[in-house]
Structure 1
Amino acid sequence: MKKTVIAVVGPTAVGKTSLSIFLAKHLQGEIISGDSMQVYKGMDIGTAKIRKEEMEGIPHHLLDMKNPAEEYSAASYKADVEKTIEEITARNRLPILVGGSGLYIQAALFDYNFPDIPRDEYRTQELEQEAKEEGISRIYRRLEEVDPEQAKKIHPNNHRRVIRALEIYETTGKTKTAWEREQKKEPKYNTLFIGLEMERTALYEQINKRVDMMMEEGLLEEVTTLYRAGYQDTQAMKAIGYKEFIPYLEGKEDLHKAIEKLKQNSRRYAKRQFTWFRNQLPVKWFPITPEQKSEKFTMILQKIAGILKMK
C-alpha cells in the first residue's frame, strides 16, 4: 500500500505556510519543507523560513540541516524526504510537504532513480574558467542551443547547474533532458497536490510587502553576516534574497537598487514557479485572496478530508 502524502505547492508569498499549519492541526500532520534553500543554517529571513513561534507546536522537518558552504542536491533531498515520510507515517501522522522548489518536490514524490551520468572534472573546470572570463550568460546561451528544455528549468545565474548541464552534453553526446526521459517516473505515494494561486497583481503586491517586511526583520544584516563569514561565492548565496545584496556589499550598487532587484527577481520567480507546477504536476488549484484565507482554507480542508475518507 502506498503511503498518503499531502503536497501544498504554489508561487512564493501565496500563503502555503499558513495553509500547511492549518491542515496539519486538523489532520494530525507533520510538515516537511519543500524549499531547497531552507535546509541551510543562518539563511532564515531571505528564505522566509518559518519561526519556531509560528509553528504552533507542529513538527517541521528538513530545516537547518546544512551549512551554506555545503552542497545539497535534489537526489539528497529525495533520500531525506523518503526517510522522513517513513518516520512520520510510523507515528500514524500525515506527512504534509510544503514549498515552492518544484524539481525537488517532484524528485521526492516520484519513484525514479537519478541517472548515473559520468562527470568530467577536467571539462567542468574548463567551463568554470570560461564562465569567469566570458560570463555565465555565454555558457547559458550555448546550453539553450543544445538543450533548450533543460535551459528553461535552470536560472541563468545558477552557475553550477548551467555548467553541469552543458558538461553532460559535451562529454556524453546526450543532453540532460534525454537522460531524464529515459527514467520511469511513477508516483511513489498517494499524493494529493494542493496548489494556491492568486491574481497576479495581488500576488505581486504580496511579494513586494514581504520584501519590505524582510528588510525590517533584518535581511540585510543576515546577508552581511553570511558575506563576512566567507560564503559569498557558495551556491547557497546565489539564491534569490541573497545574491541581490552582493553588489551592494561590494560597493558597486546602492541599497535601493538591491531591494528593487530583489522584488523584481521574486516576482519573476513566482511566475516561473506557477508555470512549472501547472505543466509538471497534477495539482488541484485553489484561487485565493489575502482577505479570504480563513474561508478558503476551511473549504480546502473539507475537500481533503473527503478524499482521505475514500482512500
Structure 2
Amino acid sequence: MLAVVGPTATGKTALGVALAEAFEGEVISADSMQIYKGLDVGTAKVAPDETHGVPHHAVDILEPDELFSVADFVTLAGTLEADISARGRLPILVGGTGLYVQSFLYGVRFAAEKTPDGLREQLAAELAEKGPEAMYKELQAADPEAAAAIHPNNQVRVLRALEHFRATGKRLSEQKAQSLPPERPYRSLVLGLDFPDRTQLYRRIDLRVDKMLDAGLLDEAKLVYDHRQTYRTAAQAIGYKEFFPYFEGTAPLDACTEKLKQASRNYAKRQLTWFRHMDGVVWLDASAPDVTARAVQLTQEFLAKG
C-alpha cells in the first residue's frame, strides 16, 4: 500500500498519478469533500485530462446532502484496497484529510455509540444561543487535543466532538489512542509532500484560489449557499462558507477572497501539524526538480522488500 499525503497545494494529485503510471496503480482519494458530486472546483478534484487514464476511486459517489463519517471512509477504502490488490494493481491513497489517512492506515477501530435522545438538539440550541465561539471554548476545555485539530468555525465538527464527550464522558483524542490496534493492518509507504520555504507554499495557495475563481468557484459557492440547510458538510467547508457574506451583501468579494486565502493557509498549517505527528511519513521536498524520481525510487525499494 502506498500513500501520498501533505497540505493543500503541494502537488499530491500529480505525484499520485505519476506513481500510478509507474507502478500500475489506482488512486483512492482520501479527501473528505471530493467524495461529493458536483463540488468540483472548490474541492480541487482532479480533472479528467489530469488523470492520464489512472482510475480514481472515492470521488463523486455521494450527493452533497448525504453524511459521510470517518468510519464510512475506512470501510469504503478497505473494500477498494482489497479489490485493487486482488486485480494485481497497487492501491495508492492520495489526500490531505489526515483523520481519514491515519484511521485507515493505522487501523483505528470505531466503537458504535448511541447518542442520548435529545443531546444533538440540545447542542444545536446551545449553539444558537451562545454562538460558535462559546461552543469552541467549551471543547477546548473538555478536549484540548481535539479542539486543536478542528477549526473554530467548523461548527459541525465542534458539535460532534462535544456530543461524543457528553455522551461518553471521554475525549475523542482518548478514544483514538485506545482504538489503535497493536499492529497496523496494511504494510505501507507514506510519502509526505511539503515546501521547506513556507512562503512558497502560501504563494501557491493564493494562486490556486485565484485559479479556482476563474474556473467558476463563485457559482459553486452560490449553489452551496442556496442549499446550505441540506448541504451541511459543504456549507462548513473551506472554499464555500467564506463567500456567504458576499451573497448576503455584508462583505465585498475581494474581502471574501482574501478570507478564503487566509483560511486555506491556516488549513495547510493544521494539515502539516497532523501529518508531522504521524509515524513513518517519509517527507519529500515538493519544490525539488527530482521529487517524482525520488518518490519512484522510494516506491521501488519499498515494493522490492515485498
Q: Does 1:197 align with 2:197?
A: no
- 2:8–2:205: 8 Å Cα contact kept in structure 1? yes
1:162, distance to aligned residue in structure 2 (A): 1.3
Q: Quote the residue 1:173 is aligned against.
A: 169
Aligned partner (choices 283, 287, 292) of residue 297 of structure 1: 292
2:300 alignment partner AA: A
Aligned partner (choices 235, 239, 242) of residue 240 of structure 2: 242
Q: Secondary structure at the match of 1:190?
A: coil
Q: Quote the residue 1:36 is aligned against.
A: 32
CA offsets, 1:87-132, max 9 Å, x none? 1011100000101000011111222321223312412211111111
Q: Quote the residue 2:129 is aligned against.
A: 133
- Percent identical residues: 43
Query: Normalized against structure 2, the TM-score is what?
Result: 0.95
> Unpaired segments of 5 or more residues in structure 1?
none
Q: Does 1:103 align with 2:121?
A: no
- 1:232–1:246: 8 Å Cα contact kept in structure 2? no
- Runs of 4+ deviating beyond 6 Å: none
Alignment map for 1:36-55 (pairs within 5 Å): 36-55=32-51
Q: Quote the residue 2:178 is aligned against.
A: 182
CA distance in 2, matches of 1:118, 1:231: 24
Aligned partner (choices 11, 23, 26) of residue 7 of structure 2: 11
Q: Secondary structure at the match of 1:139?
A: helix
1:233, distance to aligned residue in structure 2 (A): 5.7
Alignment map for 1:210-225 (pairs within 5 Å): 210-225=208-223
CA distance in 2, matches of 1:202, 1:300: 21
1:232, distance to aligned residue in structure 2 (A): 6.9
Change in 2 beyond 3 A, CA 1:157/1:232: farther
Change in 2 beyond 3 A, CA 1:200/1:121: farther
Aligned partner (choices 245, 253, 256) of residue 255 of structure 1: 253
CA distance in 2, matches of 1:233, 1:37: 11
Q: Quote the residue 2:89 is aligned against.
A: 93
CA distance in 2, matches of 1:121, 1:248: 37
1:230, distance to aligned residue in structure 2 (A): 5.1
1:57 alignment partner AA: G
- 1:156–1:162: 8 Å Cα contact kept in structure 2? yes
CA distance in 1, matches of 2:103, 2:227: 32
Q: Does 1:160 align with 2:156?
A: yes
Query: Normalized against structure 1, the TM-score is what?
Result: 0.94
- 2:10–2:201: 8 Å Cα contact kept in structure 1? yes
1:212 alignment partner AA: D
CA distance in 1, matches of 2:72, 2:111: 13
Moved more, 195-204 or 182-191: 182-191
Change in 2 beyond 3 A, CA 1:229/1:166: closer
Q: Does 1:307 align with 2:305?
A: no
2:302 alignment partner AA: I
CA offsets, 1:3-60, max 9 Å, x none? xx10000010011111111111010000110111000111111111001111100000
Q: Secondary structure at the match of 1:30?
A: strand
1:246, distance to aligned residue in structure 2 (A): 1.1
CA distance in 2, matches of 1:49, 1:83: 22
Report the number of matched residues: 304
Q: Secondary structure at the match of 1:88?
A: helix
CA offsets, 1:198-221, max 9 Å, x none? 020100000000000001111001
Change in 2 beyond 3 A, CA 1:276/1:254: same
CA distance in 1, matches of 2:93, 2:46: 14
CA distance in 1, matches of 2:220, 2:231: 16
RMSD (Å), alpha carbons: 1.5
